[in-house]
């Protein structure tokens, strides 16, 4: 099994098959527009611009589960990112990443990489966690060209430090 079996919703709630991204390197991120990590959109966009011509995509999934930091409609969230951070990568409909209503894609991602990594080693919070739950917005999952989950980066892991990981799988 890999991520290509999953369907997600676009901001206008149409089904999108992740098969559309087959053969690409992906960075799947649960995001929020009112989060302390929201400025990471700049770093995510920089990665996207630098590597998109080599088959790299950023897939943005707003999540309102953490202190309601992704308020508004799907379209409002997408517009906010485009206007304030100049994002050009794909934004999808809001999802839950934990709990009984968690999107199946994120359940799968968590199962494949249950622990966050910070600076190349397990984070202290991740070591203390007894579950695969996502701890906050801006958890990032790196997917190789075959749909395999390669790494899971903690919310505070700066996108610029993901670059060597991306280069390895491009």
> Global pTM?
0.93
Q: If we measure between CA atoms, which residue out of 85, 102, 106 comes closest to residue 29?
A: 106
For 123, other C-beta atoms within 10 Å of its C-beta total 19
Residue 116: its pLDDT value, please?
Answer: 82
Q: Residue 137 in contact with residue 66, Cβ under 8 Å?
A: yes
Catalytically active residues are: 35
d(Cα 55, Cα 77) in Å, to the nearest integer? 25
Domain boundaries, the chain: 3-169
The predicted pLDDT at position 159 comes to: 95
Class of domain 3-169: alpha beta
- pLDDT at site 118: 62
Q: What per-residue confidence (pLDDT) applies to 119?
A: 59
Render pLDDT for 45-85 as a digit per residue (tens, 0 to 9). Answer: 999 999 999 999 999 999 999 999 898 999 999 999 899 99
Which residues of the chain fall below pLDDT 70?
118-130
Q: Tell me the three state secondary structure of residue 41.
A: helix
């Amino acid at each position: 099994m890999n991520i290509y079996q999953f369907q997600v919703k676009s901001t206008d709630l149409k089904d999108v098959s992740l098969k559309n991204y087959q053969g690409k390197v992906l960075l799947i991120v649960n995001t929020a527009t009112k989060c302390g990590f929201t400025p990471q959109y700049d770093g995510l966009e920089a990665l996207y611009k630098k590597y998109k011509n080599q088959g790299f995509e950023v897939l943005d999934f707003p999540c309102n589960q953490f202190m309601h930091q992704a308020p508004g409609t799907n379209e409002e969230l997408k517009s906010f990112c485009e206007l304030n951070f100049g994002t050009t990568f794909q934004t999808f409909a809001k999802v839950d990443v934990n709990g009984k209503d968690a999107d199946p894609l994120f359940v799968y991602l968590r199962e494949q990489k249950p622990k966050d990594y910070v600076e190349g080693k397990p984070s202290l919070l991740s070591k203390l966690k007894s579950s695969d739950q996502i701890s906050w917005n801006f958890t990032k999952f790196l997917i190789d060209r075959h749909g395999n989950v390669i790494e899971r980066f903690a919310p505070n892991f700066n996108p610029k430090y993901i670059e060597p990981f991306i280069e390895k799988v491009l």
